[in-house]
Amino acid sequence: MFKHVAAVVLVANLLMACGASAEQSWLYSVRPGDNLWNLCQKYTHKIDCWLTLGEYNSVDLPDQLPPGLIIRFPISWLKAIPTPVTLSFFSGDVTYQTTAQSSPESVQVGMKLPIGSVVNTGDESIAGLLFGDGSLMQVEPNSSVELDALSLPDGSGYVDSRIRLQSGAVKTRVPERQPKSRFQITTPAAIAAVRGTEFRVTAYDDAGTSAMTGEVFDGAVGVAGTSAAKEPKNVAAGFGIKAQQGKELAEPKPLPPAPEWGEIAALQKPPISAQWQPVAEAVSYRLEILAPAADGGDAELISVTGTPDLQFLDEDMAYTSGCFVLALRAVDAEGLMGLANEQQVCTRDKLATPAQIKKRAINFNSKADWVLLDWQPVASATRYLVQLSADENFNTILAEHQSQEPKLSLSVTEAMLDGFYYRVQAQGEDVVFSDHSLPRAVQVQDEPLKALAAISAFWVLLIAL
């Protein structure tokens, strides 16, 4: 995979051969057929470039450049300036350094990160890096990433990006690339190079030995060890690989399958909760909460949770109301993360529970044609569900009615003459329905009719006397 890929690397703080001042240089790995003349013509605007480039690089035979030889170009000679990386989003404790030796500084969304910058994330902290060619990298918690090289949009189709992952994990989506382009991530244990793919790389210490795991979700990745000149392993989509410094690369293995979701409501009141089915080879699960992509962009990672359980309750609530994507993956014993099963969940504030205006029971006459049920209106409610039951615990529902007003007139039926209870639930569009209100009793009260009958009987008796 690496044989026909030209390596172009931006390196900071290299001293120019012709002066004492430091200038960033662009490094090119010679390919068959290259010479100083055509390289100068292709990449620089300097008129006498081919005359001075050999001396600048201590090259004695400019027409005979061996493949793999590194040629340095001063940045000021180039036709196009390398594009810096943009910090597209972050959450938590994220800092950057302009060099590995400088003091850490706080990041800001939209800031440009030049070559040599180091991005560090703390506990429960994440950052997004957007490259000039559209590649997007999500830097996960407790990670350190150094920008070894940046994209060079020179119009020739050549785009080269190199990242050094010192520790932690990154997930990267790389667009389909031109044949001469490359995106490469280097760890202490191995190197991963890709064209047009989505993959994840983790660098960590394994019992005192530097190790790396890589998972490919789309496209293909070439992985080569850093300690031995071996042919790289080609890792296809749906496969992963583990590398340890000083050891032979393991063969790629299939990633764990995507877990199946269990009980999960599409509309929830925070905090978000979810359940899923077990995966046989999984020792744990990884759940990402992402903000959905907008206008063709990329989803923004909000939080990451690892758990051995088959359920999740986001008590930290690292989000506001809205819609989110849950991406669930199984993790095997080697730490390889499997394919994702995504589920969109929307959260909305729960409607307030309706409260009756009057606490006491409603009395109605058995001879009445109708009875009025009422309750206190709820803001944002578009309708109300009214349930009737013969018992206060609503073990049996006699009837259900819908009303758009905070009241309901019901025709009196024979079933109501024994008395009943009603309760109300506020409902609306794209919201979590309210809890049911406390029950309110409705009972027959015929005392006024009995009193009238007694008065009538009194007058009849009086007249008779």
CATH number at residue 340: 2.60.40.10
**Section 182-198 average pLDDT:** 80
Q: Is 365 exposed, middle or buried (0-12, 13-18, 19+ CB in 10 A)?
A: middle
CATH number at residue 23: 3.10.350.10
**Section 352-380 average pLDDT:** 82
pLDDT of residue 241: 93
pLDDT band for position 295 (50/70/90)? Answer: low
**Section 327-346 average pLDDT:** 93
Contact 253, 213 (CB under 8 A): no
- State yes or no: pLDDT of 84 exceeds 50: yes
Q: Which residue has the higher pLDDT, 328 or 367?
A: 328
**Per-residue pLDDT tens for 194-223?**
766 789 999 998 888 888 999 999 888 888
pLDDT of residue 11: 29
Q: Which residue has the higher pLDDT, 256 or 114?
A: 256
- Tell whether 239 and 141 lie within a shared domain: yes
- Does some domain include residue 465? no
Closest CA to 324 of 310, 344, 309, 306: 344
- Tell whether 73 and 95 lie within a shared domain: no
Query: Using alpha carbons only, what angle is made at residue 213 by residues 212 and 219, rounded to the nearest 5 degrees?
Result: 125
- Does some domain include residue 259? no
- Tell whether 32 and 155 lie within a shared domain: no
Q: Which residue has the higher pLDDT, 103 or 152?
A: 103
- State yes or no: pLDDT of 322 exceeds 80: no
**Section 230-243 average pLDDT:** 88
- Does some domain include residue 462? no
- Tell whether 274 and 410 lie within a shared domain: no
- Tell whether 311 and 218 lie within a shared domain: no
- State yes or no: pLDDT of 394 exceeds 90: yes
- Tell whether 366 and 318 lie within a shared domain: no
pLDDT of residue 226: 73
- Tell whether 90 and 59 lie within a shared domain: no
pLDDT of residue 163: 87
- Tell whether 297 and 187 lie within a shared domain: no
- Tell whether 173 and 104 lie within a shared domain: yes
Q: What is the mean pLDDT of the chain?
A: 80
- Does some domain include residue 226? yes
Lowest-pLDDT range of 7-21, 38-52, 182-196, 238-252: 7-21
pLDDT above 90 as % of the chain = 35
Closest CA to 303 of 293, 315, 288, 313: 288
**Section 322-334 average pLDDT:** 91
**Per-residue pLDDT tens for 244-263?**
888 888 899 999 999 999 98
- Does some domain include residue 120? yes
Structure tokens at 155: 């119009």
pLDDT band for position 320 (50/70/90)? Answer: low
pLDDT band for position 227 (50/70/90)? Answer: low
Q: Which residue has the higher pLDDT, 191 or 378?
A: 378
- Tell whether 310 and 427 lie within a shared domain: no
Which residue among 312, 347, 382 closes a domain? 347
- Does some domain include residue 1? no
Domain count, the chain: 4
Length of the chain: 465
- Does some domain include residue 294? yes
Token look-up 């293995």 returns 253
Lowest-pLDDT range of 135-144, 288-297, 320-329, 380-389: 288-297
- Tell whether 134 and 184 lie within a shared domain: yes
Q: Domain limits at 122?
A: 85-254
CATH number at residue 223: 2.60.120.1440
- Tell whether 99 and 246 lie within a shared domain: yes
- Does some domain include residue 104? yes
**Section 316-345 average pLDDT:** 87
Lowest-pLDDT range of 256-260, 424-428, 459-463: 459-463
- State yes or no: pLDDT of 409 exceeds 60: yes
Q: Which residue has the higher pLDDT, 235 or 150?
A: 235
Which residue among 254, 279, 314 closes a domain? 254
- State yes or no: pLDDT of 178 exceeds 70: no
**Per-residue pLDDT tens for 36-68?**
898 898 888 998 898 899 889 988 776 778 876
pLDDT band for position 402 (50/70/90)? Answer: very high
pLDDT of residue 451: 47
Strand 311-313 versus strand 440-444 pairing type:
unpaired
Which residue among 195, 219, 254 closes a domain? 254
Q: Which residue has the higher pLDDT, 152 or 191?
A: 191
